[in-house]
Structure 1
């Protein structure tokens, strides 16, 4: 389950287009705990905290600590409970103190987003008005965040620290090799993400997509790669560098959809559940969350019914339409900043 804590962000990446304000009815901390408890009882094992930018949520560390009793007991791997609590962040606010506080609270993994290795590219991809100088400032903070996370115990060699990058043709495709070099030098797995048509305001067009196979080909031409495949229910296909300098992964939601075994449930900061990143509508969980404690079972039933009835195949349908030359009207989607990616 991916749980958004806020729709706000301190950056303005044009592929995400975050809002400057939160929806009016944010979930409370108690409601978030109730929701995660119900989900874990139904079999959800992994939780990712997202935004917007989740580090803008002042109660983040307290939430992570409060989730610890929901973990599955090591001696009972088959029992309901969380196995992993992760975080996706742009890293700008990940100070030494916050990295350590999150680790102490019980966070397992951090994924940091960075779409370029120079000030001009970072400014363009992060929607910064200050140009290259502003981009350099953000870049320095994100690189420092990687250091802070590693020092706090998020070991990249164990997969506890990863680097995400959205690649768009003609915008930052020249950053493929520099990003790969950066990740190799730091021993961090780089995850390259195709530019996706999430939301209604990011100007997505098919010709802006650089296919994952092309990304891998370009990087593999410089540093030979050995394919590892995609795990069941995983979003990323992975490779290892033949010279032993770590791993590379790609998320090919556009060019190679994986709808058939997707197991993600996304819940917005105001409690609306979506069974697909490209969904046009979701199920508002607040009526159950805000009912009396005696109605707690209804929340479990609502989640179970939502999950059992899911039939999302948008990425596959898009791909089929493109391959057949069929022109379809793109349906409205929920915004990326609400769904947390």
Structure 2
């Protein structure tokens, strides 16, 4: 893969910075490299999914060029997502291209979210590319329950990938979507396992994105109640640690580990939003919970850097103040029609 030339210097660094209409500084970009995934998690995807034709995808070189443009505008952290990003051939090469900005100091961190099914083969290459920390989606360590939630998954394969990433020196955070009646009884054991392994652990409320076969009302588990239950078993201490995302952390005294909560429904966190998302089609979404987007593909292919900057500025002007996620009741329509794998986790 040919490296993209570094972005040209801008006349005014302050003028180039990304700031939305509510004064929020945007310094975190999530780039989805594919909408494809080898799992079919029940809360995330329909069992029979249609994926984008390959001709509609941005090339890895174009994704690297987009990253350059955002870094030139003040983005300090980039996360590679999907779908399952490791399903995209050449992903470590893209990480290497973007990772060169870590050496210059223009980028603070390059991270990855993965389901870890292909992590064992690629962990060393990711570490060489400059990735130092990854998030792994893992909703259960019980083989039968994991297969039920994912419809197809083998948890042993995932755990093998996690072990390989740990051996490669990558810091690991486990993300678990809290699902009523499915994995809620496993949460305390996951807290203990992550603490023993040296992994951070984050619980996430299910989000109403895309149409799925099951009613999300049946599985929605408010995390304020989960936290109260955990406080009966563990001592949760205040923690100032932040990763740039929406999680709010505590320290578990008994394990020494960090425990995070992502609560889009019970505690809206939009006032501090510093994020935007680019899909593999080149669509820039200003908010996960809104359909509004700006198409960067045409600007990238036909207009050059000036057109790309203008499109980014247009997106900033229309970034909403907040999402409006809610679990409104049985059989309610999702907040947006697109599934999480389209936008990127």
Please indicate the TM-score interval, normalised by the length of the shorter structure.
0.7 to 0.9
Does the Cα contact within 8 Å between 1:212 and 1:255 map onto a contact in 2? Answer: yes
Structure 2 counterpart SS, 1:190 = strand
- Tell me the residue number matched to 2:108: 83
- Tell me the residue number matched to 1:340: 344
- Tell me the residue number matched to 2:45: 17
- Tell me the residue number matched to 2:299: 288
Structure 1 counterpart SS, 2:336 = coil
Counterpart CA distance in 2 for 1:230 and 1:85 is: 18
Shift of 1:58: 1.0
Unaligned runs of 5+ in 1: 75-80, 129-134, 155-159
Mean Cα deviation higher: 297-306 or 50-59: 297-306
**2:30 counterpart of 1:2:** yes
**2:117 counterpart of 1:92:** yes
Structure 2 counterpart SS, 1:218 = helix
**2:94 counterpart of 1:66:** no
Shift of 1:235: 0.6
Matching residue within 113, 117, 139 for 1:115: 139
Counterpart CA distance in 2 for 1:70 and 1:151 is: 25
Does the Cα contact within 8 Å between 1:53 and 1:89 map onto a contact in 2? Answer: yes
**2:60 counterpart of 1:29:** yes
Shift of 1:70: 2.8
- Tell me the residue number matched to 1:41: 72
Spell out, residue by residue over 1:32-60, the C-alpha distance to the aligned partner (whole angstroms, 9 max, x if none). Answer: 11111111111111110011001111111
- Tell me the residue number matched to 1:305: 314
Does the Cα contact within 8 Å between 1:281 and 1:334 map onto a contact in 2? Answer: no
Structure 1 counterpart SS, 2:113 = strand
Equivalent residue runs for 1:81-160 within 5 Å: 81-95=106-120, 97-128=121-152, 138-154=154-170, 160=171
1:204–1:288 Cα change, 3 Å: farther
Matching residue within 283, 287, 292 for 1:276: 287
Does the Cα contact within 8 Å between 2:299 and 2:308 map onto a contact in 1? Answer: yes
Structure 2 counterpart SS, 1:13 = coil
Counterpart CA distance in 2 for 1:229 and 1:279 is: 30
Does the Cα contact within 8 Å between 1:88 and 1:112 map onto a contact in 2? Answer: yes
Equivalent residue runs for 1:228-307 within 5 Å: 228=239, 231=242, 234-291=245-302, 295-307=304-316
Counterpart CA distance in 1 for 2:73 and 2:317 is: 12
Shift of 1:82: 1.6
Shift of 1:298: 1.2
Counterpart CA distance in 1 for 2:319 and 2:103 is: 26
1:70–1:304 Cα change, 3 Å: farther
Bigger relative contact order, structure 1 or 2 (CA pairs below 8 A, ≥6 apart): 2
Unaligned runs of 5+ in 2: 1-28
What TM-score, normalized by structure 2, do the two folds share? 0.84
Q: Which 4+ runs in 1 deviate beyond 4 A?
A: 229-233, 328-331
Structure 2 counterpart SS, 1:86 = strand
- Tell me the residue number matched to 2:201: 190
Counterpart CA distance in 1 for 2:191 and 2:296 is: 41
Counterpart CA distance in 1 for 2:39 and 2:243 is: 33
Counterpart CA distance in 2 for 1:332 and 1:262 is: 19
**2:316 counterpart of 1:314:** no
Shift of 1:296: 1.6
Counterpart CA distance in 2 for 1:182 and 1:171 is: 18
Counterpart CA distance in 2 for 1:17 and 1:234 is: 23
Does the Cα contact within 8 Å between 2:286 and 2:292 map onto a contact in 1? Answer: no
1:107–1:315 Cα change, 3 Å: same
**2:240 counterpart of 1:209:** no
Spell out, residue by residue over 1:182-229, the C-alpha distance to the aligned partner (whole angstroms, 9 max, x if none). Answer: 212211111111111112336454453211122222223222111326
